[in-house]
Structure 1
Amino acid sequence: MHPKIIPVVMCEGAGIGLWPVSRDSMPKQFIPLFGRDSAFQRTAKLLSDATVFDRLIVIASAEHRFTVADQLQVIGVKAEIVVEPVCRGSAAAVAIAVELGLARDGAALVGVFAADHVVQDGRLFVETCARAAVVAAQDGIVTIGIPPAYPATRYGYIRPGSEITDGAHRVEAFVEASDAVQAARYLTDGYLWNSGNLIFNAATMRAELETFEADVMASAGEAVAKGGRDLGFLTLEPLAFAEVPKVSITAIMERTQKASVIAGQFGWSDVGCWSAVWELSEKGANGNVVEGRGYVFDGANNLLRSEDALLAVVGVDDIAVIATRDSILVVPKAMAGKVTDVVALLTANGEPEAGSHREIHRPWGKYLSIDLDTRHQVKRITVKPGGVLSLQKHYHRAEHWVVVRGTAEVTRDDETIIVHENESIYLPIGCVHRMANPGKIPLDIIEVQVGSYLGEDDIIRIEDIYKRC
């Protein structure tokens, strides 16, 4: 009897193919695209099946660690959250998973999964992982391949070889499709899409990493060994982790002789572009998908998604119209793959909307910039129950806070003041201040900033429970 799979979820990538909804500040894995749960939450739920999986491990950036914790709490899944000081690629994440897996069990089986993929048949996904574990327990490294639905050029492909056991085949090669003609040939010849999901014997993977990318394994191992704990998160030693070469795990998979593949028939998508969102969504009249306030007149097979604004399209087919609070994207679904090029152009031109939302998430909650001019800014701030902002001051702005829901505990220099709904407080330039939510419900306030400079870098933190000073 082999041990349970230790599941490791990698929360990497910005998902810029789904811009403007997905950005660096809040990438697609944390955004509900289909129903109430995000792709990350859906994945975490699948990997919480205790008959097949051990306790979950999540690898995330420092910026998104609190989002991970919050989303896990909402769905009631417990996990070890590992904070990467910097992103060093998928091989580094696998090396971390190896070290943590072997720390639990010398015979550990580890599964590494992406946070932003979507599975349609969860039961079959779990069954496929269980079958892969049987092969991995024999000193193997198993990748889950996906039978292609169409000749895609943006996925890597796997050429299966001889059969090892029922449903598992040796991997003959990992290849790329240079064009649609080659991709169509791969489809005809029985190649599989490379989903990137792996299940392996941890000791075997460590040996392969030491053989092919020894510096990755050594530096990642040192980062884990010298790591610690901070605010409940497992941290990696920054200097050691910074020395990890940035390498894709595919570089190891292409060279190892231990690789095998099992086909996953569970309905998989990496949701890499808006056409994929349309394909996976429940269709309304004439094949249209409308999320938010939107209307289609005399059109078919369109995708409309709006966070706030009212959208209406007339007489068009097969387009995606995506509206957030600060950006609008209109693209034919057939050209949805070009959105990444648009984001590159926006980034090159210094457009802040390329990577940041107007709604910014923080450990204590979030804020939304409602109005901004040269000498004033208005924000809507939401503080979670028990959340505490840093003790801080500003050199260039004063602030007014108006409580619209909940109760605020405000520190202003030497005073501590309770501010209730429909009450306000003034914070002059230079005063030392802090806000906390001592209540049981979210605290919502409207903040009005007035001053000569309103940048976020005019926050002089004096004390912070989240250790951002």
Structure 2
Amino acid sequence: MTQIVPVILCGGSGTRLWPLSRKSYPKQFVPLVGDVTLFQASAQRMRQSADLAFGSPMVLTNSDFRFIVTEQLSAIGIDPGPILIEPEGRNTAPAILAAALHLHATDPEAIMLVAPSDHVVPDAQAFHAAVARGIEAVRTRGDLVTFGITPDRPETGYGYLQLETRPDGSGAAQPLRRFVEKPDMQTAEQMLADGSYLWNSGIFLFAVRDILAAFEAHASALCAPVRAAVERAKPDLGFLRLDPESWAGAEDISIDYAVMERAGNLSVVPFSGGWSDLGSWSAVHELGNPDADGVATSGSVTAIDCRNSLLRSEAEQLELVGLGVENLIAVAMKDAVLVASMDRAQDVKQAVTALKAKHAVQAESLPVDHRPWGWFESLAIGDRFQVKRIHVHPGAALSLQSHHHRSEHWIVVAGTAKVTVDDEVRLISENESVYIPLGSVHRMENPGKVPMVLIEVQTGSYLGEDDIVRYEDVYARS
């Protein structure tokens, strides 16, 4: 049984699902559909089955998400393979090339299954069957295989793949005629009626040696900088950081443009087992089990006489009420609310652009800030003070640090904190507190086996997160 190496691309920002998905914590790390996150579901989908042998997943992500990746994989019992840190986003072609070069050094005969981290494929068994059919084309012909989704409606939000002929029903890999960009509605309707067009899923299967040969033939300018970035990569706490200087020399380009649209050995496996890239709130609505009136709800929501709408409350103790609305998207967060026509679901990223232009923090950041040791949330901010709730994972520790402009007061509300203040180290239990004077060198740790939660009150002339001088850090942050 041939072993397949899953390669999960995990660096997107998901702006079309604002305000739930933001640059600081994008949609792949959120449980949008079901109890696990999209990233976790992607990793689970590429695990051992009766017919396929999957290796440990390789993940490509950025520095901000590296600890989120390991935390979420650990939560579902998956030990990752290599985690490659991209110094900056350069699109899918350099990322896939880096993964192939890294694999080639240890297993030149490996087969790679490359998938985004934020897609929904409900039927894992059907997906495995499609992968098995793709492997035949990889083994026997050396094909670069992509997966085309059988369309069930005219869709303007996806690119398309045109086959040489209509799918023959066997599910076997078929030759590709051409790639088609996202069409207008009239063209999408014509393509649906034609029957030889499939949605482009962005999922690929190929042997390492074949994709490297394709890069050399069709995108040779990428090879030198990406190879140098891999060869000069440096280990960092179990991660592998690609060399920033070399990586910056790689063109920002997708795998479709760089290789797939130029290669002659490309084939497509048709897939009808259900798929969504969750690229808009309308896609979330479709998968949200709408009721008989087409209303999908999540969280604390009351819908009265509503039709064809998505209503989501993502904040505790915030009740969202829809009254007589139709074709509406309403998503309520603690710090931002989106209200949009369902017809404008593809345009939500325009809201992010507008918020960036006015320098609104809500454009890219959530109220909850995730860190390697846990997370914190701002509860109240005023003139010269801020109140936070801080959650520290069992066994985790914040950096040894000091501040130039603020003092802090910590009150433990759950668990036990090990606190260092200058030369004193002490344990602080529930309902106890400690004061951190301005300029004191301090650290907070959770020595227990349950999460530790405390309330932090900051006072001072400047309360920004950049007022931190780190002396020691177990997560190697500068």
Q: Where do residues 204-283 of structure 1 align in structure 2 (5 Å cutoff)?
A: 204-251=210-257, 252-283=259-290
Q: Where do residues 7-46 of structure 1 align in structure 2 (5 Å cutoff)?
A: 7-46=6-45
Deviations 1:25-65 (CA, angstroms, capped at 9, x unpaired): 00000000112101111110010125332221111111001
SS for the counterpart of 1:93 is helix
Q: Where do residues 388-427 of structure 1 align in structure 2 (5 Å cutoff)?
A: 388-427=397-436
Which position in structure 1 is the counterpart of 2:158? 155
Shift of 1:13: 1.2
Q: Where do residues 430-469 of structure 1 align in structure 2 (5 Å cutoff)?
A: 430-469=439-478
Q: Could you tell me which of 350, 355, 368 is aligned with 1:359?
A: 368
Q: Which stretch shifts more, 380-389 or 283-292?
A: 283-292
| 1:83 to 1:274, Cα distance in 2 relative to 1, 3 A | same
| 1:292 to 1:177, Cα distance in 2 relative to 1, 3 A | closer
Task: State the one-letter code of the partner of 1:21.
Answer: L
Q: Where do residues 58-73 of structure 1 align in structure 2 (5 Å cutoff)?
A: 58-73=59-74
Deviations 1:344-400 (CA, angstroms, capped at 9, x unpaired): 111111111010001000000000011111210000000001111111111111100
SS for the counterpart of 2:222 is helix
Which position in structure 1 is the counterpart of 2:178? 173
Shift of 1:166: 6.2
CA–CA distance in structure 2, aligned partners of residues 97 and 432 of structure 1 = 41
Task: State the one-letter code of the partner of 2:174.
Answer: H
TM-score by length of 1: 0.97
SS for the counterpart of 2:352 is helix
Q: Which stretch shifts more, 429-438 or 105-114?
A: 105-114
SS for the counterpart of 1:245 is coil
SS for the counterpart of 1:279 is helix
CA–CA distance in structure 2, aligned partners of residues 88 and 280 of structure 1 = 31
CA–CA distance in structure 1, aligned partners of residues 221 and 386 of structure 2 = 48
Task: State the one-letter code of the partner of 1:226.
Answer: R
Which position in structure 2 is the counterpart of 1:79? 80
Deviations 1:2-33 (CA, angstroms, capped at 9, x unpaired): x2221100002111111000000000000001
Deviations 1:161-219 (CA, angstroms, capped at 9, x unpaired): 26899622111111114411111112222211111100012111101111222232222
Contact 1:101 1:109 in 2 (8 A): no
Which position in structure 2 is the counterpart of 1:184? 189
Contact 1:52 1:130 in 2 (8 A): no
Shift of 1:149: 2.1
Deviations 1:125-178 (CA, angstroms, capped at 9, x unpaired): 111011111111231100101112222222111111268996221111111144
Task: State the one-letter code of the partner of 1:321.
Answer: A
SS for the counterpart of 2:54 is coil
Contact 1:110 1:202 in 2 (8 A): yes
CA–CA distance in structure 1, aligned partners of residues 455 and 434 of structure 2 = 11
Calculate percent identity across the aligned residue pairs.
43
Contact 2:146 2:268 in 1 (8 A): yes
Contact 1:59 1:84 in 2 (8 A): yes
Task: State the one-letter code of the partner of 2:33.
Answer: F
SS for the counterpart of 1:386 is coil
Ranges in structure 1 where 5+ consecutive residues have no aligned partner:
none
Ranges in structure 2 where 5+ consecutive residues have no aligned partner:
none
Q: Which stretch shifts more, 149-158 or 369-378?
A: 149-158
Contact 2:19 2:333 in 1 (8 A): yes
CA–CA distance in structure 2, aligned partners of residues 71 and 410 of structure 1 = 27
CA–CA distance in structure 1, aligned partners of residues 364 and 41 of structure 2 = 24
SS for the counterpart of 1:286 is coil
Q: Which stretch shifts more, 96-105 or 287-296?
A: 96-105
Shift of 1:285: 5.7
SS for the counterpart of 1:316 is coil
SS for the counterpart of 2:397 is coil
SS for the counterpart of 1:34 is coil
Task: State the one-letter code of the partner of 2:126.
Answer: L
CA–CA distance in structure 1, aligned partners of residues 339 and 171 of structure 2 = 47
Contact 2:150 2:198 in 1 (8 A): yes
Deviations 1:267-302 (CA, angstroms, capped at 9, x unpaired): 010001111111011234633222111101111232
CA–CA distance in structure 1, aligned partners of residues 163 and 291 of structure 2 = 39
Shift of 1:107: 1.6
Q: Could you tell me which of 99, 105, 128 is aligned with 1:97?
A: 99
CA–CA distance in structure 1, aligned partners of residues 429 and 222 of structure 2 = 54
